[in-house]
Structure formats: C-alpha cells, structure tokens
Chains A and B, each alone.
Chain A
C-alpha cells in the first residue's frame, strides 16, 4: 500500500507543479514506483512541465467517468525506467467534473499499485482544493518567502486541519540567499516560526528551473541545478532518509566564488 501526498499552497504560481514534477522524478530515481496526478482540471500544466504533453490520450475525468481504464490513461515517463507515470488533468472541463469522493476512490485504487501517488493541487481554496486533498495521506505546503504567499499558506494549513489532514510539511521555494543575507527576504526560521509547521525542504530560486521547464525536463535531471539538488534531498527525506538541509550561500560567494564555480574549482 503506497502513500498519497498532495502538493498545495493556496496562492497560485509559487511552485506546486514544479515541486510535484521534481519530487516525482526524485522518488522514481530512487527506485520508487510513482504516479503523478494533475488535479488542476481545466488548467493542466504538469504534462508540459514533464515534457509529456504529446502523449496524452485519456485524462483524469475520462477515468473517473469510466470512459477510460486507469492503465490506459497513465502516461509512462520513459526516462525513469518503469517507475514514473502521469495521470493528466482534463483541459476542457472544470473542477466540478469530479467530486472529492471520486478522487478518494481513484487515489485509493492507485495506492495499490504505486509506492507514491503525488497530487498536484490547483491554486485556491474551492472545490479544486477539496478534490486534490480528498484522497491524500499527507500534505506538502509550498510557500515562497513573501507576505502574500505565507498568509495563504497559513490559510491552507487551517483548511487542511479542517479536512482532518494533520501535520502538513513545508517547502520554502525560491529562496534567494543573497537577499536573505541583506535582510531583504524572510529566512527559513522566520517562516517556520510564523506558520508553526515542520520543514521538509528549502529550494533556491534557480534559473535552471526555467530552462528545464522550457525543455520539459525536471530540473533534478540537471546535475548543475541547485534547485534540482534540493528536490533530490527532499525526495530522499520522503523515503525516510535523514538528509541535512543543503548550504545555500553559493550565490553570495561573490564574483570570485562564482568564477571558481564556473571554472569547476571547488573552494
């Protein structure tokens, strides 16, 4: 019996889809059997972030309505042996096309076959959110170090509590160490203190994320990507490994530090 994890945030655009894709890739690389569900019905994105958009035949709504079999709707990501699959969202329907009860049944069935079922939640607190969390055993809340994002995260933590989803885990995304150092960005401790939840990981703001998204390849596949490294660590933590937070001071190492890094010299 696998574990279902919903990736949520409240606020839009903070990195839920990026996080789902990369943690999925990380878990698959670690040898786990993983299914990703794009629960953002009407605004599907996970397929393009993963680079699988050309292979969609059926979607989540087709499966829920019994129009397609789950195994025919799942797209296998060939880069990860037999380990990573995507169930795409429907693009021409809306959130009301499925109910929380249907999602719960679907996720329960998928947990029989997969070690991890990751659910990419849409932004907002309406039915899309309720659908996405319905079948989950665990919740990851993604927030960026900004007032509006942290405020929405706090709201989501309250709503998760109301849905009896206790002890969510926090991922702080798009941290910029140089700004933190100058006192112009909230740091990790500030955010944990305010939200009072457990930290799962910290992901730096990283240009490789944009490059990877352009190419449709999870950043984690790029050995140079700091964000990719952070997501690899997060995946290992989810499998129960104890991995320390990575040091995030590279960016502030100054011109020579950066030059050394470009030239591949370890400082």
Chain B
C-alpha cells in the first residue's frame, strides 16, 4: 500500500521501469562485448587523440552506444571550445 502511495506521488518509479532501464544498459554492453570500464578507457583514448587536433570541451564530451532496431552505433558528442571572440 505504501508502495502504491509513493508511486502515485511520483516518489518512486514502477520497479518494472527500473528493470527495463537496467536491462537496456547491460544488454548494450553484453551485445558489444565491451564493459563499462572498457568504454571509459575508449573515451579517454578518444579524448587524447582528438585533443591533438582540436581544443575540446571535455566537460561536454560524451560517448555512448545507441541502438535502433537492428543496428548498434557508437555515438560521440564532442563539443569544441570557442576561441575567444570568434564564432565557429
């Protein structure tokens, strides 16, 4: 009963949604045979390489798997720092 109460007032997600979200994440890593730690290393390496050519904003730097239907992709978002006073 308390469970239902908490849920009605939006304090807790339905546990099946938590399950789905967790599954989605583990499966992405399982399917790619890449652990979260390995992905972290990949990210750092990527950052190092690209930084040799561009001035990257490493706060906004994101690398993640994305899946639609059958295909899986590694999607990177790499914001570049603005040079003072100039539009990119």
Q: What's the Cα separation between A146 and B16 when bound, in Å?
A: 9
Q: What's the Cα separation between A155 and B27 when bound, in Å?
A: 9
Main secondary structure of the interface of B (DSSP, over half): helix
A158 and B31 in contact (CB under 8 A), knowing A183-B7, A183-B15, A184-B14? Answer: yes
Interface string of A167-196 (1 = CB under 8 A from B): 000000000000010111111001000101
B15 touches A194 (CB 8 A): no
How many residue pairs, one in A and one in B, have C-beta atoms under 8 Å apart? Answer: 39
**Of residues 12 to 32 in B, which have CB atoms within 8 Å of A's CB atoms?**
14-17, 19-20, 22-24, 26-27, 30-31
B4 at the interface (CB under 8 A from A): yes
A147 touches B19 (CB 8 A): yes
Contact of B20 among A154, A158, A180, A194 (CB under 8 A): A194
B30 touches A155 (CB 8 A): yes
- Interface size counted on chain A using CB atoms at 8 A: 17
A151 at the interface (CB under 8 A from B): yes
Interface centre among A147, A151, A196 (most CB of B within 10 A): A147
Residues of A within 8 A of B23 (CB): 147, 150-151, 194
B16 touches A187 (CB 8 A): yes
Q: Give the shortest distance, in Å, between A18 (CB) and chain B (any CB).
A: 23
Q: Give the shortest distance, in Å, between B36 (CB) and chain A (any CB).
A: 15
A183 and B16 in contact (CB under 8 A), knowing A154-B31, A158-B31? Answer: yes
Contact of B14 among A151, A154, A183 (CB under 8 A): A183
Q: What's the Cα separation between A183 and B17 when bound, in Å?
A: 8
B26 touches A151 (CB 8 A): yes
Which residues on A are within 8 Å of B, measured CB to CB? 146-147, 150-151, 154-155, 158, 180, 182-187, 190, 194, 196
Q: Other CB < 8 Å A-B pairs besides A151-B27, A190-B20, 7 of them? A: A146-B19, A147-B22, A155-B30, A182-B14, A183-B14, A184-B14, A196-B70
